[in-house]
Amino acid sequence: MEENISKIKEEALNEIKNSEDAKKLNDVRVKYLGKKGELTSILRGMGSLSPEERPIIGSKVNEVRDELEGLIKQREEEFSKLELEKKLKEEKIDITLPSKKVKRGSKHPLNRIIEEVEDLFVSMGYDVVTGPELETDEYCFERLNLPKGHPARDMQDSFYITEEYLLRTQTSAVQARTMMANEEKTPIRVICPGKTYRRDDDATHSHQFSQVEGLVVDKNISLADLKGTLEVFVRKLLGENLELRFRPSYFPFTEPSYEVDVSCFKCGGKGCNLCKQTGWIEVLGSGIVHPNVLKMGGYDPEKYSGFAFGTGLDRLAMFKYGITDIRLLYQNDVRFLNQFDRLDR
Protein backbone atom coordinates (compact mmCIF):
# COMPACT_ATOMS: atom_id res chain seq x y z
CA MET A 1 0.00 0.00 0.00
CA GLU A 2 2.74 2.39 0.98
CA GLU A 3 4.49 1.67 -2.24
CA ASN A 4 1.33 2.42 -4.08
CA ILE A 5 1.09 5.80 -2.37
CA SER A 6 4.68 6.58 -3.25
CA LYS A 7 3.98 5.66 -6.86
CA ILE A 8 0.94 7.89 -6.95
CA LYS A 9 3.03 10.68 -5.44
CA GLU A 10 5.76 10.28 -8.04
CA GLU A 11 3.26 10.32 -10.87
CA ALA A 12 1.41 13.33 -9.46
CA LEU A 13 4.65 15.28 -8.96
CA ASN A 14 5.60 14.58 -12.52
CA GLU A 15 2.28 15.64 -13.88
CA ILE A 16 2.28 18.81 -11.82
CA LYS A 17 5.71 19.64 -13.10
CA ASN A 18 4.76 18.96 -16.69
CA SER A 19 1.34 20.64 -16.82
CA GLU A 20 1.59 23.50 -19.28
CA ASP A 21 -1.22 25.71 -18.10
CA ALA A 22 -3.72 26.36 -15.33
CA LYS A 23 -6.34 24.14 -16.92
CA LYS A 24 -4.05 21.12 -17.16
CA LEU A 25 -2.97 21.74 -13.57
CA ASN A 26 -6.56 21.67 -12.46
CA ASP A 27 -7.06 18.34 -14.27
CA VAL A 28 -4.15 16.96 -12.25
CA ARG A 29 -5.70 18.21 -9.03
CA VAL A 30 -9.01 16.52 -9.86
CA LYS A 31 -7.24 13.34 -10.88
CA TYR A 32 -5.41 12.97 -7.56
CA LEU A 33 -7.13 15.10 -4.97
CA GLY A 34 -10.70 15.42 -6.28
CA LYS A 35 -13.69 13.54 -4.83
CA LYS A 36 -12.96 10.56 -7.00
CA GLY A 37 -9.24 11.18 -7.12
CA GLU A 38 -6.66 8.50 -6.53
CA LEU A 39 -5.53 9.66 -3.10
CA THR A 40 -9.07 10.31 -1.94
CA SER A 41 -10.00 6.75 -2.95
CA ILE A 42 -7.26 5.36 -0.70
CA LEU A 43 -8.64 7.36 2.24
CA ARG A 44 -12.13 6.09 1.47
CA GLY A 45 -10.86 2.54 1.41
CA MET A 46 -9.23 2.78 4.84
CA GLY A 47 -12.06 0.68 6.33
CA SER A 48 -10.63 -2.44 4.78
CA LEU A 49 -7.24 -1.97 6.40
CA SER A 50 -6.08 -3.52 9.64
CA PRO A 51 -6.22 -1.19 12.69
CA GLU A 52 -2.41 -1.13 12.82
CA GLU A 53 -2.09 -0.06 9.20
CA ARG A 54 -4.75 2.62 9.35
CA PRO A 55 -2.86 5.43 11.17
CA ILE A 56 0.30 4.82 9.18
CA ILE A 57 -1.41 4.86 5.83
CA GLY A 58 -3.70 7.69 6.94
CA SER A 59 -0.87 9.97 7.91
CA LYS A 60 1.12 9.04 4.81
CA VAL A 61 -1.80 9.93 2.53
CA ASN A 62 -2.38 13.22 4.35
CA GLU A 63 1.28 14.07 4.12
CA VAL A 64 1.33 13.39 0.37
CA ARG A 65 -1.92 15.29 -0.10
CA ASP A 66 -0.54 18.34 1.75
CA GLU A 67 2.60 18.23 -0.31
CA LEU A 68 0.72 17.96 -3.59
CA GLU A 69 -1.67 20.75 -2.63
CA GLY A 70 1.27 22.99 -1.76
CA LEU A 71 2.95 22.30 -5.04
CA ILE A 72 -0.20 22.82 -7.03
CA LYS A 73 -0.75 26.15 -5.31
CA GLN A 74 2.79 27.20 -6.06
CA ARG A 75 2.38 26.21 -9.71
CA GLU A 76 -0.91 28.07 -9.88
CA GLU A 77 0.75 31.21 -8.66
CA GLU A 78 3.42 30.82 -11.29
CA PHE A 79 0.79 30.48 -13.96
CA SER A 80 -1.16 33.55 -12.85
CA LYS A 81 2.07 35.54 -12.74
CA LEU A 82 2.91 34.44 -16.28
CA GLU A 83 -0.63 35.27 -17.38
CA LEU A 84 -0.34 38.77 -15.95
CA GLU A 85 3.03 39.34 -17.59
CA LYS A 86 1.61 38.21 -20.92
CA LYS A 87 -1.35 40.55 -20.58
CA LEU A 88 0.86 43.49 -19.66
CA LYS A 89 3.03 42.82 -22.67
CA GLU A 90 0.10 42.50 -25.06
CA GLU A 91 -1.70 45.57 -23.82
CA LYS A 92 1.32 47.78 -23.59
CA ILE A 93 0.58 51.34 -24.74
CA ASP A 94 3.17 53.26 -26.67
CA ILE A 95 2.88 56.71 -25.17
CA THR A 96 5.38 58.09 -27.65
CA LEU A 97 2.95 57.64 -30.58
CA PRO A 98 1.56 60.93 -31.90
CA SER A 99 -2.07 61.36 -30.78
CA LYS A 100 -5.06 61.81 -33.07
CA LYS A 101 -5.79 65.45 -33.87
CA VAL A 102 -8.69 66.77 -31.82
CA LYS A 103 -11.00 68.75 -34.06
CA ARG A 104 -12.32 71.94 -32.57
CA GLY A 105 -14.13 74.94 -33.89
CA SER A 106 -12.82 78.45 -34.13
CA LYS A 107 -14.30 81.84 -33.33
CA HIS A 108 -16.19 83.50 -36.16
CA PRO A 109 -14.26 86.52 -37.47
CA LEU A 110 -17.17 88.82 -36.63
CA ASN A 111 -17.32 87.57 -33.05
CA ARG A 112 -13.59 88.11 -32.78
CA ILE A 113 -13.98 91.73 -33.78
CA ILE A 114 -16.97 92.23 -31.45
CA GLU A 115 -15.05 90.78 -28.50
CA GLU A 116 -12.03 92.93 -29.26
CA VAL A 117 -14.11 96.10 -29.53
CA GLU A 118 -15.99 95.27 -26.32
CA ASP A 119 -12.79 94.56 -24.39
CA LEU A 120 -11.28 97.81 -25.56
CA PHE A 121 -14.24 100.01 -24.65
CA VAL A 122 -14.93 98.22 -21.36
CA SER A 123 -11.30 98.96 -20.46
CA MET A 124 -12.10 102.65 -21.05
CA GLY A 125 -15.11 102.53 -18.72
CA TYR A 126 -17.92 101.98 -21.23
CA ASP A 127 -20.95 99.73 -20.72
CA VAL A 128 -22.02 97.31 -23.44
CA VAL A 129 -25.76 97.64 -24.16
CA THR A 130 -28.18 96.03 -26.61
CA GLY A 131 -31.45 96.95 -28.29
CA PRO A 132 -34.10 95.12 -30.33
CA GLU A 133 -33.47 94.21 -33.97
CA LEU A 134 -37.17 94.65 -34.72
CA GLU A 135 -37.34 98.36 -34.04
CA THR A 136 -39.94 101.11 -34.20
CA ASP A 137 -39.76 103.94 -36.70
CA GLU A 138 -39.74 106.24 -33.67
CA TYR A 139 -36.43 104.95 -32.26
CA CYS A 140 -34.75 104.10 -35.55
CA PHE A 141 -35.48 107.50 -37.12
CA GLU A 142 -37.71 110.02 -35.38
CA ARG A 143 -35.84 110.27 -32.12
CA LEU A 144 -32.61 110.57 -34.13
CA ASN A 145 -33.80 113.78 -35.71
CA LEU A 146 -35.19 112.09 -38.81
CA PRO A 147 -38.90 112.92 -38.89
CA LYS A 148 -41.19 111.18 -41.39
CA GLY A 149 -40.62 112.53 -44.88
CA HIS A 150 -37.04 113.63 -44.10
CA PRO A 151 -34.96 113.20 -47.27
CA ALA A 152 -32.09 111.56 -45.36
CA ARG A 153 -34.30 108.51 -44.78
CA ASP A 154 -33.55 107.62 -48.39
CA MET A 155 -29.91 107.02 -47.37
CA GLN A 156 -31.06 103.69 -45.92
CA ASP A 157 -33.22 101.17 -47.77
CA SER A 158 -35.29 99.79 -44.93
CA PHE A 159 -37.21 96.56 -44.41
CA TYR A 160 -40.55 97.75 -43.04
CA ILE A 161 -42.68 95.08 -41.38
CA THR A 162 -45.64 97.39 -40.74
CA GLU A 163 -45.93 101.19 -40.99
CA GLU A 164 -44.47 101.54 -37.52
CA TYR A 165 -42.11 98.53 -37.26
CA LEU A 166 -38.98 97.78 -39.27
CA LEU A 167 -35.76 95.78 -38.99
CA ARG A 168 -33.36 98.36 -37.61
CA THR A 169 -31.16 99.89 -40.28
CA GLN A 170 -28.63 101.21 -37.77
CA THR A 171 -27.57 100.57 -34.21
CA SER A 172 -28.00 104.34 -33.70
CA ALA A 173 -31.53 103.39 -32.56
CA VAL A 174 -29.93 102.28 -29.30
CA GLN A 175 -28.69 105.84 -28.68
CA ALA A 176 -32.27 107.02 -28.24
CA ARG A 177 -33.19 103.95 -26.20
CA THR A 178 -30.23 104.42 -23.84
CA MET A 179 -31.05 108.08 -23.21
CA MET A 180 -34.74 107.30 -22.61
CA ALA A 181 -33.95 104.38 -20.31
CA ASN A 182 -31.68 106.52 -18.13
CA GLU A 183 -34.32 108.12 -15.94
CA GLU A 184 -31.89 110.00 -13.70
CA LYS A 185 -30.35 111.55 -16.82
CA THR A 186 -26.85 110.85 -15.59
CA PRO A 187 -23.83 110.74 -17.92
CA ILE A 188 -23.76 107.97 -20.51
CA ARG A 189 -20.84 106.00 -21.87
CA VAL A 190 -21.96 102.99 -23.93
CA ILE A 191 -21.24 100.93 -26.98
CA CYS A 192 -23.79 98.74 -28.70
CA PRO A 193 -22.71 96.03 -31.12
CA GLY A 194 -25.48 94.32 -33.04
CA LYS A 195 -27.15 93.18 -36.23
CA THR A 196 -28.64 95.63 -38.69
CA TYR A 197 -30.62 95.22 -41.92
CA ARG A 198 -30.92 97.02 -45.24
CA ARG A 199 -32.17 96.11 -48.68
CA ASP A 200 -28.69 95.60 -50.18
CA ASP A 201 -26.94 92.53 -51.51
CA ASP A 202 -23.60 92.56 -53.33
CA ALA A 203 -19.92 91.79 -52.63
CA THR A 204 -19.56 94.68 -50.18
CA HIS A 205 -23.15 94.87 -48.90
CA SER A 206 -25.25 92.19 -47.26
CA HIS A 207 -28.95 92.57 -46.35
CA GLN A 208 -27.92 91.68 -42.82
CA PHE A 209 -24.76 93.22 -41.44
CA SER A 210 -23.28 94.26 -38.11
CA GLN A 211 -22.55 97.62 -36.61
CA VAL A 212 -21.21 98.97 -33.39
CA GLU A 213 -22.53 102.23 -32.04
CA GLY A 214 -20.87 104.43 -29.45
CA LEU A 215 -22.49 107.18 -27.39
CA VAL A 216 -21.04 109.45 -24.74
CA VAL A 217 -23.17 112.10 -23.04
CA ASP A 218 -21.72 114.23 -20.28
CA LYS A 219 -20.90 117.82 -19.38
CA ASN A 220 -18.23 119.52 -21.51
CA ILE A 221 -17.84 116.80 -24.11
CA SER A 222 -16.06 118.18 -27.15
CA LEU A 223 -14.77 117.15 -30.53
CA ALA A 224 -11.35 116.59 -28.92
CA ASP A 225 -12.86 113.75 -26.84
CA LEU A 226 -14.36 112.20 -29.96
CA LYS A 227 -11.09 112.42 -31.88
CA GLY A 228 -9.01 110.99 -29.06
CA THR A 229 -11.43 108.13 -28.51
CA LEU A 230 -11.63 107.17 -32.17
CA GLU A 231 -7.86 107.33 -32.52
CA VAL A 232 -7.46 104.81 -29.71
CA PHE A 233 -10.24 102.65 -31.15
CA VAL A 234 -8.91 102.50 -34.71
CA ARG A 235 -5.25 102.16 -33.80
CA LYS A 236 -5.80 99.41 -31.23
CA LEU A 237 -8.03 97.47 -33.59
CA LEU A 238 -6.38 97.94 -36.97
CA GLY A 239 -2.80 99.11 -36.36
CA GLU A 240 -0.84 101.46 -34.10
CA ASN A 241 0.75 103.45 -36.91
CA LEU A 242 -2.42 104.39 -38.77
CA GLU A 243 -3.28 108.01 -39.49
CA LEU A 244 -6.85 109.27 -39.07
CA ARG A 245 -8.59 111.88 -41.21
CA PHE A 246 -11.85 113.56 -40.19
CA ARG A 247 -13.87 114.52 -43.24
CA PRO A 248 -16.92 116.79 -42.79
CA SER A 249 -20.10 114.88 -43.61
CA TYR A 250 -23.79 114.82 -42.85
CA PHE A 251 -25.78 112.68 -40.45
CA PRO A 252 -29.11 113.95 -39.11
CA PHE A 253 -28.32 112.97 -35.51
CA THR A 254 -24.93 114.70 -35.24
CA GLU A 255 -23.82 118.26 -35.85
CA PRO A 256 -21.09 118.69 -36.89
CA SER A 257 -20.71 115.25 -38.49
CA TYR A 258 -17.61 113.53 -39.76
CA GLU A 259 -16.65 110.54 -41.75
CA VAL A 260 -13.43 109.09 -40.46
CA ASP A 261 -10.85 107.69 -42.85
CA VAL A 262 -7.72 105.77 -41.93
CA SER A 263 -4.54 105.64 -43.94
CA CYS A 264 -4.68 102.48 -46.04
CA PHE A 265 -3.25 99.60 -44.01
CA LYS A 266 -2.36 97.69 -47.15
CA CYS A 267 -0.24 100.25 -48.98
CA GLY A 268 0.47 102.64 -46.10
CA GLY A 269 -1.14 105.53 -48.00
CA LYS A 270 0.64 105.23 -51.36
CA GLY A 271 -2.47 104.06 -53.20
CA CYS A 272 -3.55 100.49 -54.07
CA ASN A 273 -6.59 98.48 -55.12
CA LEU A 274 -7.93 98.29 -51.54
CA CYS A 275 -8.06 102.07 -51.07
CA LYS A 276 -8.95 102.63 -54.73
CA GLN A 277 -5.66 104.56 -55.19
CA THR A 278 -6.69 107.25 -52.68
CA GLY A 279 -4.47 106.15 -49.80
CA TRP A 280 -7.46 106.39 -47.41
CA ILE A 281 -10.19 104.01 -46.30
CA GLU A 282 -13.46 105.16 -44.77
CA VAL A 283 -14.20 103.35 -41.54
CA LEU A 284 -16.55 105.36 -39.32
CA GLY A 285 -19.39 107.85 -39.13
CA SER A 286 -19.33 110.18 -36.15
CA GLY A 287 -20.08 113.58 -34.75
CA ILE A 288 -21.28 115.74 -31.89
CA VAL A 289 -24.76 114.68 -30.77
CA HIS A 290 -27.39 116.99 -32.28
CA PRO A 291 -29.17 119.15 -29.64
CA ASN A 292 -32.53 117.85 -30.91
CA VAL A 293 -31.47 114.28 -30.18
CA LEU A 294 -30.38 115.21 -26.66
CA LYS A 295 -33.65 117.06 -26.09
CA MET A 296 -35.76 114.13 -27.31
CA GLY A 297 -33.72 111.85 -25.04
CA GLY A 298 -34.55 114.06 -22.05
CA TYR A 299 -31.14 115.75 -21.73
CA ASP A 300 -30.82 119.53 -21.59
CA PRO A 301 -28.51 120.53 -24.50
CA GLU A 302 -27.56 123.66 -22.57
CA LYS A 303 -26.00 121.52 -19.85
CA TYR A 304 -25.04 118.35 -21.63
CA SER A 305 -23.17 117.56 -24.81
CA GLY A 306 -22.04 114.31 -26.33
CA PHE A 307 -20.40 112.49 -29.17
CA ALA A 308 -21.51 109.45 -31.13
CA PHE A 309 -19.99 107.16 -33.67
CA GLY A 310 -20.99 104.14 -35.68
CA THR A 311 -19.10 101.68 -37.80
CA GLY A 312 -19.69 98.52 -39.80
CA LEU A 313 -18.11 95.57 -38.04
CA ASP A 314 -18.18 93.52 -41.24
CA ARG A 315 -16.01 96.08 -42.97
CA LEU A 316 -13.59 96.12 -40.05
CA ALA A 317 -13.39 92.31 -40.10
CA MET A 318 -12.88 92.34 -43.86
CA PHE A 319 -10.02 94.84 -43.59
CA LYS A 320 -8.44 93.13 -40.64
CA TYR A 321 -8.52 89.63 -42.13
CA GLY A 322 -8.32 90.45 -45.84
CA ILE A 323 -11.81 89.09 -46.66
CA THR A 324 -13.02 90.23 -50.08
CA ASP A 325 -16.72 89.28 -50.04
CA ILE A 326 -18.92 90.31 -47.10
CA ARG A 327 -21.33 87.45 -47.79
CA LEU A 328 -18.66 84.96 -46.69
CA LEU A 329 -19.24 86.22 -43.16
CA TYR A 330 -22.83 85.00 -43.24
CA GLN A 331 -22.66 81.75 -45.20
CA ASN A 332 -20.95 79.69 -42.48
CA ASP A 333 -18.93 77.69 -44.97
CA VAL A 334 -16.47 75.69 -42.85
CA ARG A 335 -13.80 75.94 -45.55
CA PHE A 336 -13.86 79.68 -44.91
CA LEU A 337 -14.26 79.52 -41.13
CA ASN A 338 -11.50 76.91 -40.67
CA GLN A 339 -8.96 79.43 -41.85
CA PHE A 340 -9.38 81.32 -38.58
CA ASP A 341 -8.30 78.30 -36.48
CA ARG A 342 -4.73 79.40 -36.50
CA LEU A 343 -5.51 82.67 -34.74
CA ASP A 344 -6.43 80.71 -31.59
CA ARG A 345 -3.09 78.91 -31.33
**Residues lying near ligand DAH in the complex (CB under 6 A):** 170, 172, 213, 251, 254, 285-287, 308-310
8 vs 313 by CB, closer to ligand DAH: 313
- Please state, in angstroms and rounded to a whole number, the distance separating the CA atoms of residues 28 and 32: 6
- Please state, in angstroms and rounded to a whole number, the distance separating the CA atoms of residues 94 and 88: 12
What is the sign, positive or negative, of the torsion defined by CA atoms of 71, 74, 79, 80? Answer: positive
- Evaluate whether 343 touches 116 at the Cβ level (below 8 Å): no
- Evaluate whether 21 touches 28 at the Cβ level (below 8 Å): no
List the one residue out of 174, 209, 175, 212 whose CA is nearest residue 193. 212
8-state DSSP, 56: H
61 vs 146 by CB, closer to ligand DAH: 146
37 vs 310 by CB, closer to ligand DAH: 310
68 vs 215 by CB, closer to ligand DAH: 215
The distance of closest approach from Cβ of residue 170 to ligand DAH in the complex, given in angstroms and rounded to an integer, is: 4
| Interior/surface letters 123-137, b for 16+ CB within 10 angstroms, e for the rest | eeebeebebeeebbb
The distance of closest approach from Cβ of residue 212 to ligand DAH in the complex, given in angstroms and rounded to an integer, is: 10
172 vs 210 by CB, closer to ligand DAH: 172
176 vs 308 by CB, closer to ligand DAH: 308
The distance of closest approach from Cβ of residue 223 to ligand DAH in the complex, given in angstroms and rounded to an integer, is: 12
Q: Where are the alpha helices (DSSP H) in the chain?
A: 2-18, 22-33, 38-44, 53-90, 109-123, 137-140, 173-181, 223-238, 291-296, 313-321, 328-331, 334-337
